[in-house]
């Protein structure tokens, strides 16, 4: 056991499968343990490198094992899959994690802190509430349309639903259903508003979040998501690596020495990518009031490229700017923000 330098863990809900190997890559032990036994095992085990897939519970377990003196690394599951040999089982998965971690060019995921995980949970809850609100609005529109009442598009009209219902001769039971949906809509609106206030309060106490808010077009939600998911940015070698990790760089399909660049790759976190593209579009809508090198760059791009292409290019630049602010501990400077791409 003293020869073990690398331990791969296949995470589960109740049971965990361990694969330990020495510095030559030779298997030393295999073990199946419960959650309690796993903590007790590593608490008494000598310091080594522990590797897991970046999945549910991985960040908590990484923080826990790090307190015992182990070096913990997380790998994206997509990079582990090619190392699974023959039939798939939990022990083979743990061995594949070790094999993937042994590659010198492997990319690892930085474990999140408790505050980052909590903030991510808050954002996921907000997205779920927004989906529920959209579903409720669509149901109201659909039920009224079945009875010949067509409402304008948008959520604003739902706030005055009782007055609209009173103007049309509708069945009493339908009115009762609409009243329930309207009450549910108001509840969801209140919950989303409270979460927005909570995000704003957390952002006010976060130094990185306040600096990210200085980027043009970036609002509290985007700044909060970036602060939670990107952290200090040290897991990325440069700003382009961060932009590539969220799918804002061209997808490449080159062969025979001929380069062929396609549209953006759309890899990684689609929520961050969506928010940055929305920030870019918001900036472009107010372009006539913007100044500085970034505004000049956007105006020059719009003269020769479609606005959709410019929006993605600007989102890429915003992502790279956000990484620079996080990694270099600086603030946004409008005069230095937009070097030619």
237-258, pLDDT tens digit by residue?
Answer: 888 989 998 999 888 888 887 8
Strand partners, 9: 18, 52
Strand partners, 19: 8, 30
Instruction: Work out the burial of residue 102: count CB atoms within 10 Å of its CB; fewer than 13 is exposed, 13-18 middle, 19 or more buried.
Output: middle
Instruction: Please state, in angstroms and as integers, the Cα–Cα distance from residue 149 to each residue in 122, 141, 166, following that order.
Output: 37, 8, 12
Q: How many whole angstroms from its chain centre is CA 103?
A: 26
Q: Work out the end-to-end distance of the chain between its first and last CA atoms, rounded to an integer number of angstroms.
A: 53
What's the CA gap between 180 and 11, in Å, rounded?
43
When the pLDDT of each residue in the chain is averaged and rounded to a whole number, the result is: 89
Helix boundaries (H) for 213-269: 220-230, 239-245
Instruction: Tell me the per-residue pLDDT of 48-92, one tens digit each, with 9 for 90 and over.
Output: 999 999 988 899 999 999 999 999 999 999 899 999 988 889 999
pLDDT for position 85:
85
pLDDT for position 46:
92
pLDDT for position 337:
46
pLDDT for position 341:
37
Query: Up-side HSE of residue 176: CA atoms within 13 Å toward CB?
Result: 3
DSSP 8-state secondary structure symbol assigned to residue 112: P
Closest CA to 199 of 225, 230, 233: 225
The CATH number of 6-101 is 3.30.420.40
Closest CA to 179 of 140, 151, 206, 145: 140
Does residue 61 or residue 206 have the better pLDDT? 61
Cβ-based neighbours of 4, under 8 Å, separated by 6 or more: 20, 21, 22, 28, 29, 45, 46, 48
Instruction: Work out the burial of residue 56: count CB atoms within 10 Å of its CB; fewer than 13 is exposed, 13-18 middle, 19 or more buried.
Output: exposed
pLDDT for position 339:
41
Query: Up-side HSE of residue 21: CA atoms within 13 Å toward CB?
Result: 19
Closest CA to 249 of 271, 273, 231: 273
Ordered by start, the domain boundaries in the chain are 6-101, 115-204, 207-328
Query: For residue 173, what are its two tokens?
Result: 């039971």
Does residue 154 or residue 92 have the better pLDDT? 92
pLDDT at 335 over 70: no
Closest CA to 95 of 80, 114, 78, 76: 80
């Amino acid at each position: 056991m003293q020869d073990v330098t690398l331990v791969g863990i296949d995470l589960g809900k109740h049971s965990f499968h361990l694969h330990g190997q020495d510095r030559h890559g030779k298997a030393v032990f295999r073990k199946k343990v419960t959650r309690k036994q796993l903590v007790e095992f590593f608490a008494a085990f000598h310091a080594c490198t522990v590797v897991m897939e970046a999945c549910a519970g991985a960040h908590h377990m990484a923080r826990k094992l790090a307190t015992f003196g182990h070096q913990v690394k997380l790998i994206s599951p997509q990079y582990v899959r090619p190392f699974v040999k023959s039939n798939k089982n939990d022990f083979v998965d743990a061995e594949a994690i070790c094999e993937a971690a042994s590659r010198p060019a492997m990319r690892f995921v930085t474990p999140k802190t408790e505050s980052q995980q909590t903030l991510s949970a808050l954002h996921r809850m907000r997205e779920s509430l927004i989906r529920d609100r959209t579903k409720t609005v669509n149901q109201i529109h659909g039920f009224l349309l079945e009875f010949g009442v067509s409402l304008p598009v948008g959520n604003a009209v739902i706030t005055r639903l009782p007055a609209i219902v009173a103007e049309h001769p509708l069945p009493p039971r339908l009115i009762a259903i609409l009243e329930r949906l309207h009450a549910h809509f108001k509840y969801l609106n209140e919950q989303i508003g409270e979460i927005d206030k909570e995000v704003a309060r957390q952002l006010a106490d976060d130094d990185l979040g306040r600096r990210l808010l200085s980027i043009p077009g970036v609002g509290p939600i985007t700044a909060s998501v970036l602060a939670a998911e990107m952290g200090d940015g040290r897991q990325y070698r440069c700003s382009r690596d961060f932009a590539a990790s969220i799918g804002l760089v061209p997808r490449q399909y080159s062969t025979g020495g001929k380069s062929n660049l396609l549209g953006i790759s759309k890899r990684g976190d689609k929520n961050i990518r969506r928010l940055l593209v929305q920030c870019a579009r918001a900036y472009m809508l107010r372009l006539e009031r913007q100044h500085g090198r970034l505004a000049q760059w956007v105006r020059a791009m719009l003269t020769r490229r479609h606005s959709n292409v410019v929006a993605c290019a600007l989102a890429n630049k915003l992502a790279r700017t956000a990484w620079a602010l996080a990694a270099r501990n600086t603030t946004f400077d409008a005069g230095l923000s937009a070097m030619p791409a």
